[in-house]
Amino acid sequence: MDIHLTIGNALINISRIGSRVDSSMKKVFEMMPTRDIISWNTVIAGNVQNGLHEDALVMVREMGNAGLKPDIFTLSSILPIFAQYVDVAKGKEIHGYVIRYGFEKDLYVANSLINMYSRCSRVEDSIRVFKVTPQRYAISWNSVIAGCVHNSMFDEGLRLFRQMLRDNVILGSVSFSSIMPACAHFTTLNLGKQLHGYILRCGFDDNVFISSSLVDMYAKCGHIRIARWIFDDIKGRDMVSWTTMIMGFDLHGYAQDFISLFEQMKLEGIRRNHVALAAILTACSHASMIDEGRRYFDQMTEEYGIRPRVHKNVDLAEKVVTKIFEIDLENTDDQSHPQRDEINDAIRELLEKMEQAGYVAYTSEVSHDVDDEQKKYLLYGHSKRRAIAFGIMSTPDGTTIRVIKNIKVCVDCHTVIKFISEIVGREIVVRDSSRFHHFRDGECSCGDYW
């Protein structure tokens, strides 16, 4: 064995970890009298790890000119480059090379391909690679599930996760953090609680990243108190933990809570970065807290040295006027529910009590050219009211009523639900397209601003 080759490879491996990779590593490499595939792969991997992607690709070409063909380690190193640059064309070229030389069965190459296709939004291709991988370890499952979730294919991600459980694959911390956003997206609390149980049994409850994912999941599923309990139990909270909790309070309209939490960060000596500041500015905007928002905006430059950045390719969103009331008109006469008579009676009874308490219908929201009585009838049939009436009928006294709606709650419904919460003495949680509304004792957590 060439002793110079062995020592040289060891020196390259050591120098590639340091901050002077561009000079020391290449100097050792160039001084070596002979170089093997390990020498080239070490330099290529060092360049990739230190962000020198162009240098890494040049080295691959030079390696080919030296008569050496890329192996599984070369391919595993360079595929993340194409993932980062979202260059699926180059990635497919490498995939073709992988197939020609029989590397498709290698675990590391397969995972690199899965990640590359996922980052390039080619989830179907990543799943195809996953399916032909002969030995699927947890890392393969985690990669393909994370790819599905990252690309908003939540149903497929959940399907693969359930299959992972059926195949008795050992779950790791990455497994849970990969699938948790899907539960948060669907607000599937039952599945989220099951995952929480798995996490506790597996001993991952002290993992900061997983705990932050749980905070996000419970907040988006409407259980902000549980989210806060988990947050308070996190040891060594990082910036992700803090901003997740702040955004959770914002989602539920708890303005004073997210302000207090943001100030608590300062008291605990945590430097609030641009992510935390963006979160608090967004929360202040949603809560119409103009003065507080201005104060934090000024702090961006005065205390933290953070300046607002203007990007060249700003997405311009065009607001589309949705014919909400036409949809509601169609739903008003929907009498398909088997308990429709009981529901209608319950709504009428609640309406009488509300009017006695001072409720006046906000008919100006109805755009149809009809008289006031007809407008009241149209508002009367809004699905949120029917859902709440059914919930009150179907659950014991004191039970929290939860309603999910995919459009923004109208002003009249918002007023009605405040009245109902006081009349029946229950908390009513409504998730609309904007946020969570917690109605309790005639008040809403949003402060009537949403």
- The candidate with the shortest Cα–Cα distance to 353, out of 421, 403, 283, 408, is 421
Q: Mean pLDDT lowest for which of 10-14, 133-137, 387-391?
A: 10-14
Q: CB pairs under 8 A, 24+ apart, for 347-354?
A: 347/380, 347/385, 347/386, 347/389, 350/389, 350/420, 350/423, 350/424, 351/380, 353/419, 353/423, 354/416, 354/419, 354/420, 354/423
One-letter amino acid at 156 equals E
Res 265 pLDDT > 80: yes
Burial of 380 (0-12, 13-18, 19+ CB in 10 A): middle
One-letter amino acid at 310 equals V
Any idea which residue has 């943001």 for tokens?
A: 262
| pLDDT more than 90, % of the chain | 34
What's 313's DSSP letter? S
Q: What is the DSSP string of 186-219?
A: HT-HHHHHHHHHHHHHHT-TT-HHHHHHHHHHHH
One-letter amino acid at 301 equals T
Asked if residues 419 and 359 have their Cβ atoms less than 8 Å apart, the reply is: yes
Between 256 and 314, the higher pLDDT residue = 256
- Tell me, yes or no, whether 322 lies in a domain: no
- Tell me, yes or no, whether 318 lies in a domain: no
Residues 266, 409 within the same domain: no
Domain boundary, last residue among 216, 232, 248: 232
What's 395's DSSP letter? S
What is residue 363's predicted lDDT score, i.e. its pLDDT?
63
Domain boundary, last residue among 212, 232, 252: 232
Any idea which residue has 């608590």 for tokens?
A: 264
Between 205 and 282, the higher pLDDT residue = 205
User: Residue 77 and residue 48: Cα distance in Å, rounded?
Assistant: 7
Residue 289 lies in domain: 237-309
- Tell me, yes or no, whether 105 lies in a domain: yes
Q: What is the pLDDT of residues 316-368, one digit of tens each?
A: 333 322 332 233 333 444 555 567 778 888 888 888 898 888 888 776 655 44
Query: What's the Rg (C-alpha) of the chain?
Result: 29
What is residue 331's predicted lDDT score, i.e. its pLDDT?
45
The full length of the chain comes to 450
What is residue 3's predicted lDDT score, i.e. its pLDDT?
46
Q: What are the residues whose beta carbons fall under 8 Å from the beta carbon of 43, sequence distance 6 or more?
A: 12, 16, 25, 26, 29, 59
Residues 261, 210 within the same domain: no
What is residue 318's predicted lDDT score, i.e. its pLDDT?
32
Q: What is the pLDDT of residues 180-189, one digit of tens each?
A: 989 888 877 8
Burial of 240 (0-12, 13-18, 19+ CB in 10 A): middle
Q: What are the residues whose beta carbons fall under 8 Å from the beta carbon of 406, sequence distance 6 or more?
A: 432, 433
Residues 293, 339 within the same domain: no
- Tell me, yes or no, whether 316 lies in a domain: no
What is residue 197's predicted lDDT score, i.e. its pLDDT?
93
- Tell me, yes or no, whether 249 lies in a domain: yes
Domain count, the chain: 3
Mean pLDDT of 383-393: 84
Q: What is the pLDDT of residues 140-158, one digit of tens each?
A: 999 999 999 999 899 999 9
Q: What is the pLDDT of residues 168-178, one digit of tens each?
A: 999 888 999 89
Residues 57, 77 within the same domain: yes
Q: What are the residues whose beta carbons fall under 8 Å from the beta carbon of 28, sequence distance 6 or more?
A: 8, 11, 12, 15
Mean pLDDT of 156-162: 94
Mean pLDDT of 293-319: 57
Asked if residues 252 and 432 have their Cβ atoms less than 8 Å apart, the reply is: no
What is residue 253's predicted lDDT score, i.e. its pLDDT?
84
User: Residue 294 and residue 349: Cα distance in Å, rounded?
Assistant: 46
Residues 43, 159 within the same domain: yes
Residues 45, 86 within the same domain: yes
Residues 302, 286 within the same domain: yes
And the tokens for 191?
């599945």
Q: What is the pLDDT of residues 6-51, one digit of tens each?
A: 777 677 776 666 555 556 777 778 778 888 899 989 889 888 888 8
- Tell me, yes or no, whether 49 lies in a domain: yes
Domain boundary, last residue among 277, 309, 341: 309
pLDDT band at 208 (very low <50, low <70, confident <90, very high): very high
User: Residue 357 and residue 359: Cα distance in Å, rounded?
Assistant: 6
Any idea which residue has 């405040």 for tokens?
A: 418
User: Residue 333 and residue 323: Cα distance in Å, rounded?
Assistant: 17
Residues 305, 338 within the same domain: no
User: Residue 205 and residue 276: Cα distance in Å, rounded?
Assistant: 24
Res 59 pLDDT > 70: yes
What is residue 323's predicted lDDT score, i.e. its pLDDT?
30
- Tell me, yes or no, whether 321 lies in a domain: no
Number of H helices, E strands in the chain: 23, 4
CATH number at residue 206: 1.25.40.10
One-letter amino acid at 109 equals V
What is residue 368's predicted lDDT score, i.e. its pLDDT?
47
pTM of the model: 0.65
Between 54 and 375, the higher pLDDT residue = 54
- Tell me, yes or no, whether 314 lies in a domain: no
What is residue 304's predicted lDDT score, i.e. its pLDDT?
62
pLDDT band at 315 (very low <50, low <70, confident <90, very high): very low
Residues 48, 159 within the same domain: yes
Instruction: Strand 436-440: give its sheet, edge to edge.
Output: 401-404, 428-431, 436-440, 443-444
What is residue 1's predicted lDDT score, i.e. its pLDDT?
43
User: Residue 203 and residue 198: Cα distance in Å, rounded?
Assistant: 9
Residues 208, 247 within the same domain: no
Residues 302, 331 within the same domain: no
Residues 181, 272 within the same domain: no
What's 22's DSSP letter? I
Res 406 pLDDT > 80: no
